Amino acid sequence: MSLSDAQFAQFEREGYLFLPGCFSLEEAALLNREAHKVFAMQRDEVWRETSGVARTAFAAHTYNEAHRRLGRHPRLIGPVERILGGRVYMHQYKINAKAAFDGEVWQWHQDYGTWKADDDMPAPRAMNIAVFLDEVTPANGPLLFIPRSHTLGALEAGHDLATTSYPLWTLDRATVTRLAKAGGCVAPIGPPGSVLLFHSCLVHASPPNISPFDRTIVYLSLCEVSNHIRRFKRKEWIAHRDFTPIDALGDDCLTELIRDQAAAAAE
């Protein structure tokens, strides 16, 4: 998949781009089934909410075949390489659960703020590309973006170690209020298989999910290879240290796995 000039311009202007239906419902269902297998594992990489349900699972592409393939999917790698202007490596891979009733808040933040402070990433030549595995609605904790906030660069942030189980460099209320009054606030919603690309300096958050509907999203944090991190204080499965450029697989890599699983089940 390649971006049109209009889509590229929209990303540059707004800081994000929403692509509904980028993956089929069958591909999204495969990834969702495999995500819940990962959430059930007792691994250090699976972090949990205070209720005990999964909050986020790191590095699933290293121990789950479906997610390994998603981490090298051309529909994701190609657009990011165009935006960043070079080959990319996987800085971080995580599946955020946002479970029904128990999914907690993700505070207002910029991803590059954390990558710079914790990992010494030199510049915001990295970004997120997210894949919806469930339908995302206004009710089940959608992502909230402040459009065009990416143009301001890295903002002053504080290290929040108490609000949730995951430490995060967050923005204060006065900053978020000022930015939202100037740029507004949007919540992209859509069916499973939809894709969101967003700049690493785009200010974003998500509210708790108190609905009875799960909201599972996979995030690939991709970094241009020459911009790799210089500090290695976080676990390797949180901030990866393999800076090898990703070679994309074929576009049918997930449908091949669906066929293989169906054939194995029929035997």
In this prediction, the residues of the chain whose per-residue pLDDT falls under 50 are none
- For the full predicted model, state whether its pTM sits above 0.85: yes
Where in the chain are the domains?
A: 5-266
Helix ranges (H only) for the chain are 5-14, 25-39, 65-70, 74-84, 111-119, 173-183, 253-266
Q: Is the dihedral of CA 61, 116, 3, 129 positive or negative?
A: positive
CATH architecture of structural domain 5-266: Sandwich (2.60)
Give the residue from 66, 71, 62, 72 showing the smallest Cα distance to 28. 66
What is the structure's pLDDT at 158? 82
The order of strands in the sheet holding 168-170 is 144-145, 204-206, 106-109, 168-170, 158-160
pLDDT in tens, 193-236: 999 999 999 999 999 999 999 999 999 999 999 999 999 999 99
pLDDT in tens, 149-163: 999 999 988 887 666
What is the structure's pLDDT at 225? 98
